[in-house]
Amino acid sequence: MLPPSLQKNKPSKFNKENFFERVFAVVKKIPRGRVTNYGAIANYLGTGLSARTVGWAMNSSHILVPPIPAHRVVNRNGLLTGKNHFATPTLMEELLQAEGVEVVDDKITHFKKLFWNPSDEPLIKKKRSKKNN
């Protein structure tokens, strides 16, 4: 559930969904070998001041089955600030390197080139059930 301070800012197009679920839907769309940041996800969801809440969602994502690619979400400078929330302190970097993303001193090399902005993509919509004719 969203903190009370963010509930009034929930975007109308997502009112019926949990904020963390909306974050996870965006993260699932990040292409292999690309990265985004907490703020870009928050902006896409219409809650630009909630980058920290996106971080909380990423911290809680490690128990999900199937897993989401939380390793592709870094801070605004390309730093692996979430690395301590993975099973080992090096797992985030290892997962990124397995996708061809170079990391030096816990920072994404060529961050601007690899940056994926969800706002450049079509809206991620909730699946709708088919109506009877």
C-alpha 52, offset from chain centre: 11
User: In terms of pLDDT, which residue wins out, 104 or 48?
Assistant: 104
Q: Domain residue spans in the chain?
A: 18-112
The model's pTM is 0.78
3-class secondary-structure state, position 89: coil
Look at residue 31 and tell me whether its pLDDT is greater than 60.
Answer: yes
Question: Burial letters for 29-56: b for 16+ Cβ neighbours within 10 Å, e otherwise?
Answer: ebeeebbbbbbbbbbbbebeebbebbbe
Query: What does the block give as tokens for 37?
Result: 């940041």
Look at residue 1 and tell me whether its pLDDT is greater than 80.
Answer: no
How high is the mean pLDDT of the chain?
Answer: 84
User: In terms of pLDDT, which residue wins out, 44 or 4?
Assistant: 44
pLDDT bracket for residue 17 (50, 70, 90): low
Note the pLDDT of residue 73.
Answer: 98
Note the pLDDT of residue 8.
Answer: 46
Task: Convert the pLDDT of each residue in 59-95 to its tens digit.
Answer: 999 888 899 999 999 999 999 999 999 999 999 999 9
Domain 18-112 has CATH 1.10.10.10: yes
